[in-house]
Amino acid sequence: MANNSTSAANHVHNLPKTSSRCITESFTATHDFEVTNYLQLDGMGVGKFVSSGTFSVAGYDWSIWFYPDGVSGDCDGNASAFLYCVSQAKAVRTKFTLNMLEKEGKVKVTDRGAIECIISPPTYTWGYSKFIEKSKLKSLSHTTSGNLIIRCVLTVMKEHRTDEVTQPNLADHLLQMWKDTEGADVTFSVCGQVFRAHRCLLAARSPVFKAELFGPMKEKATPSIKIEDIEPQIFEALLHFIYTDSVIDDERFKEDKSARLQHLLVAADRYGVEKLRVICEGKLCESIDVETVATTLVLAEQHRFKDLHEACLEFMASRKVLRAVMETDGFKHLVTSCPLLMKEILEKVCRSD
């Protein structure tokens, strides 16, 4: 019985662990609405207001509405102030304060506490019906030349969301091991840039690396293996795929994407990384355009990439498209480097007419 209990406890301990996280984001901003010449607003009428300019917080637009004679007849000689959601959102959870300040914005005339509310239809407003006594405003106007400030400090709480907290997987661990060069036992010098890696992993992922590192032709007593015909960024992308089974997501690699994919395709083919070769060929087939189709077709012809070759011919099967392609530098390169391709292109155009 004791052994069974221990076995069950170990089993529970070894169960995969998952977790999630509830996230509630909030955004806070301050807006000052300056009211000048208040005495000229006094007497404009109950229910009439002046509004601030629109300001944005958390993707919603807002405005301050100030009623010098009150929002309604039961305001008992008070001015009113409200926060208005201009965006007409369904419902917005907020926390805000509205306070009157002297013109310099340093001294509070009111000391209103924060309001926590959900601003929603049909009014889209919330605030203070009895914001400040009109008699107090008139007195202040004489000392501030009629200029006052209504300051709004607004916090908007976005709808909460629940995210899964992912645990590091094998690819994450291998990528970190590569970056840390922990246990690395082979060095490559690629056009002067050094990369350290792990022989066993390279051999497991690439038959060419396997032959190079463990076969009869393996490098002996060589401090580093020199590679001069692959760009460092392309070799880095190749290693990244070998360690993670995913194509590198790097801003540098997104520049001149088509050309870099072409180079990575050639590298994948050279080292026998078949999955990467298929991925690169597929991406190039999807991204063919007028400017790149000619150079891509030359690449496909030289390295016998059948699917890419056919995709390029299909793209140029229209006379209109072919005329545009013929204006590019890539087409001039095609004519000089692979003139026999012209026959295939013309045959494809004729069949499509």
Instruction: Kindly report, residue by residue over 29-43, the tens digit of the pLDDT.
Output: 999 998 888 788 888
Residue keyed to tokens 């690449």: 299
Range(s) of the domain holding residue 214:
166-284
Instruction: Give the CATH number, domain containing residue 247.
Output: 3.30.710.10
Rounded to an integer, the average pLDDT of 101-130 is 82
Please report the pLDDT score of residue 161 as a whole number: 75
179 and 248 assigned to the same domain = yes
Q: Determine the number of helices (DSSP H) and then strands (DSSP E) in the chain.
A: 15, 14
Same domain, 316 and 225: no
Same domain, 245 and 309: no
**What average pLDDT does range 86-108 have in this prediction?**
80
In a domain, 13, yes or no: no
Of 6-10, 94-98, 127-131, 256-260, give the lowest mean pLDDT range. Answer: 6-10
Same structural domain, 86 and 133:
yes
Of the candidates 245, 266, 284, which is a domain's last residue?
Answer: 284
Residue 4 lies in a domain: no
Instruction: Tell me the per-residue pLDDT of 166-221, one tens digit each, with 9 for 90 and over.
Output: 667 888 888 889 998 888 999 999 998 999 999 999 999 999 999 989 887 665 54
Half-sphere exposure of 121 toward its Cβ, with a 13 Å CA cutoff? 3
Assess whether 152 and 226 both reside in one domain. no
- For residue 8, is it within any domain? no
Bigger pLDDT: 64 vs 22:
64
In the sheet that holds 115-119, the strands lie side by side as 26-35, 148-157, 92-102, 115-119
pLDDT of residue 7: 47
**∠ at Cα 320 (319, 324), nearest 5°?**
110
Give the tens place of pLDDT for each residue, 145-174.
667 889 999 999 887 777 766 667 888 888
Cα(291)–Cα(331) distance, integer angstroms: 9
154 and 195, same structural domain?
no
Based on the domain organization, do 46 and 134 belong to the same domain?
A: yes
Q: How far apart are CA 93 and CA 85, in angstroms?
A: 11
pLDDT at 24: 76
Total domain count, the chain: 3
Q: Are residues 142 and 48 in the same domain?
A: yes
Examine the domain organization and report whether 37 and 90 are in the same domain: yes
Neighbours of 49 (CB within 10 A): 20
Q: What is the mean pLDDT of residues 88-106?
A: 80
Query: Mean pLDDT across the chain, nearest whole number?
Result: 84
Q: Is residue 297 part of a domain?
A: yes
Query: Does residue 292 sit within a domain?
Result: yes
pLDDT over threshold 90, residue 253 = no
Structure tokens at 157: 């709480």
Same structural domain, 118 and 206:
no
Average pLDDT value for residue range 123-145: 83
Residue 249: inside a domain: yes
128 and 242 co-located in one domain: no
pLDDT at 58: 85
CATH code (residue 300): 1.25.40.420
Tokens of 158: 């976005």
Q: Does any domain span residue 109?
A: yes
The answer to whether position 3 is within a domain reads: no
Range 255-266 average pLDDT: 87
Domain boundary at 232, 257, 284, which? 284
**277 and 303 fall within a common domain:** no
Q: What is the pLDDT of residue 84?
A: 92
Indicate which CATH number applies to the domain containing 123.
2.60.210.10
- Residue 1's pLDDT is 45
Q: Quick one: which H or E segment has residue 102?
A: strand 92-102
3: phi then psi, degrees, rounded to nearest 5: -65, -40
pLDDT of residue 220: 57
Domain's final residue, options 161, 181, 214: 161
